[in-house]
């Protein structure tokens, strides 16, 4: 576990955060505030980390005077947009691949951007922040890293980059985000890098989240497998359910896919998998060391 990096500055005053930003003192109030903050910082430095009622990374006020230009525009959740010149603005690309157990695994490729979960809630710094995950237009989660999983049933995925102070990174007045359709089975192509507007592309045309599955019933009695081990031809991409009843406690295992299921005596156990790799794979039990069947995935 990484130790959280020292937070920039805990904000105790509503004034501008005293961070090393080029700024000319244009009045005495900011100066006083800065001096107070500096004294507090020094005091805090003696006793360790400054503590407020917000733990590090949990504050939510939007800092007014950080990087970029704060726009009046807000996204649908009410976060203000923070505009950067195109050369400095981050970019995001999302790639979604179907998971064998359902849903999609999403990988975010970001440019000029770093996920900084340890400083979320701090002031906005260029190139830092987190992402918000919108499923079918509704906010579903926050991503503090490049990999996450989206449960089955989703049609489109939008990923939007936010600064540490929860404002939305934007360029030319448009939020930095990307939208990918989530195809039910086929691999969704990577979306082009975009800093494009919010208008989502057309939703997925085939919204069937549970494609039909084939079921193989297998019974194990002692060292006898019924039906006898054979080769089962499976089309690549097909979903197949193995329903296995064993007369003893055992573990069912599909080689290559490395899927396992516990078997209890006399109780059928089902294991469903999407045959997404070609080859000959053995289905077997661990304790009794029997081959139950072979999946021939073409």
Partner 1 sequence: MTTGHSPPLPFAHEAAGQTSFLSFAPQAAGQAPPLPFLPEPAGQAPLLPLAHGVGAQHDLPLSPFYAYAGAFTALFVSFLGLALLWSASRFRGDRAGRPLPASLQRLADSSVTRTALRVLGAALALFFLAHLLLGPDDPDRNPAPGALYVLLWVGLVPASLLLGPVWRLVNPLRALLSLRPPTRPRPVPAAVGIRPAAAGLLLFAWLELVAPDNTSRPVLLTALAVHLAVQLLGAARHGAAWFAHADPFEAYSSLLARLSPLGRRADGRLVLRSPFNGLDSTPETPGLVATVCVLLGTTAYDGLSDNPRWITTLQTSSLGPTATATLGLLAAVALAAACYGLCAGALRLLNRALTTPLTSFAHSLLPIALGYLVAHYFSLLAVEGPRTVIMAAGTDNAPSPAPPLGPAGLAVLQVAAIVTGHVLGVVAAHDRSVRLFPPARAVAGQLPLFALMIAYTLGGIGLLIA
> Binding to partner 1 (CB under 8 A): which residues in 57-76?
57-58, 60
Min. distance of Cβ 49 from partner 1 in angstroms?
A: 15
With CB under 8 A as the contact rule, the residue among 30, 64, 99, 268 that binds partner 1 is 99
Answer whether 49's CB lies under 8 Å from 9's CB.
no
With CB under 8 A as the contact rule, the residue among 67, 79, 160, 239 that binds partner 1 is 79
With CB under 8 A as the contact rule, the residue among 97, 172, 197, 270 that binds partner 1 is 97
Number of alpha carbons in the 13 Å side-chain half-sphere of residue 200: 18
> Binding to partner 1 (CB under 8 A): which residues in 231-250?
231
Say whether residue 279 binds partner 1 (CB under 8 A). Answer: yes
With CB under 8 A as the contact rule, the residue among 17, 63, 92, 133 that binds partner 1 is 133
Say whether residue 14 binds partner 1 (CB under 8 A). Answer: no
With CB under 8 A as the contact rule, the residue among 144, 153, 193, 248 that binds partner 1 is 144
Q: Which region, judged by CB under 8 A, interacts with partner 1, from 9-17, 24-32, 99-107, 202-210?
A: 99-107
Say whether residue 18 binds partner 1 (CB under 8 A). Answer: no
Say whether residue 49 binds partner 1 (CB under 8 A). Answer: no
Say whether residue 78 binds partner 1 (CB under 8 A). Answer: yes
> Binding to partner 1 (CB under 8 A): which residues in 160-179?
166
With CB under 8 A as the contact rule, the residue among 189, 260, 263, 272 that binds partner 1 is 260
Answer whether 123's CB lies under 8 Å from 60's CB.
no
Say whether residue 143 binds partner 1 (CB under 8 A). Answer: yes
Task: Give the x-and-dash track for 104-123 against partner 1 (CB under 8 A).
Answer: -x---------x-xx-xx--
SS (H, E, C) the chain: CCCCCCCCCCCCCCCCCCCCCCCCCCCHHHHHHHHHHHHHHHHHHHCCCCCCCCCCCCCCCCCCCCCCEEEEEECCCCCEEEEECCCCCCEEEEEEEECCCCCEEEEEEEECCEECHHHCCCCCCCCEEEEEEEECCEEEEEECCCEEEECCCCCEEEEEEECCCCCEEEECCEECEEEEECCCCCCCCCCCCECCCCCCCCCCCCCCCCCCEEEEEEEEECCEEECCCCEEEECCCCEEEEEEEECCCEEEEECCCCEEEEEEECECEEEEEECCCCEEEEEEECCCCCEEEEEEEC
Using CB under 8 A, list all residues that contact partner 1: 1-2, 54-55, 57-58, 60, 77-79, 97, 99-101, 105, 115, 117-118, 120-121, 133, 138-149, 166, 223-225, 228-231, 253, 255-260, 277-282, 284, 286, 289-291, 293-294, 296-298
């Amino acid at each position: 576990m990484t130790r959280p990096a020292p937070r920039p500055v805990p904000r105790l005053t509503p004034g501008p955060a005293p961070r090393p930003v080029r700024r000319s003192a244009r009045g005495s109030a900011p100066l006083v505030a800065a001096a107070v903050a500096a004294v507090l910082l020094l005091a805090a430095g003696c006793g360790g980390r400054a503590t407020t009622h917000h733990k590090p990374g949990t504050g939510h006020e939007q800092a007014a005077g950080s990087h970029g230009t704060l726009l009046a525009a807000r996204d649908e959740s009410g976060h203000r947009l923070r505009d950067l010149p195109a050369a400095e603005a981050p970019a995001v690309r999302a790639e979604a691949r179907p998971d064998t157990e359902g849903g999609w695994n999403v990988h975010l490729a970001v440019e000029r951007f770093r996920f900084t979960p340890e400083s979320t809630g701090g002031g906005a710094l260029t190139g830092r922040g987190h992402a918000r995950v919108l499923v079918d237009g509704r906010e579903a989660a926050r991503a503090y890293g490049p990999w996450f999983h989206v449960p089955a049933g989703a049609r489109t995925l939008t990923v939007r980059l936010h600064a540490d102070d929860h404002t939305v990174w934007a360029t030319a007045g448009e939020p930095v985000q990307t939208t990918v359709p989530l195809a039910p089975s086929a691999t969704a192509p990577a979306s082009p890098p975009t800093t494009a507007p919010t208008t989502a592309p057309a939703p997925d045309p085939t919204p069937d989240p549970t494609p039909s599955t084939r079921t193989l019933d297998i019974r194990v009695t002692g060292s006898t497998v019924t039906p006898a081990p054979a080769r089962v031809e499976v089309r690549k991409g097909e979903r197949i359910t193995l329903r296995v009843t064993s007369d003893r406690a055992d573990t069912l295992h599909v080689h290559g896919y490395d899927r396992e299921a516990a078997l209890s005596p006399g109780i059928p156990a089902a294991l469903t998998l999407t045959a997404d790799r070609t080859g000959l794979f053995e289905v077997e039990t661990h304790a009794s060391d029997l081959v139950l069947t072979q999946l021939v995935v073409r």
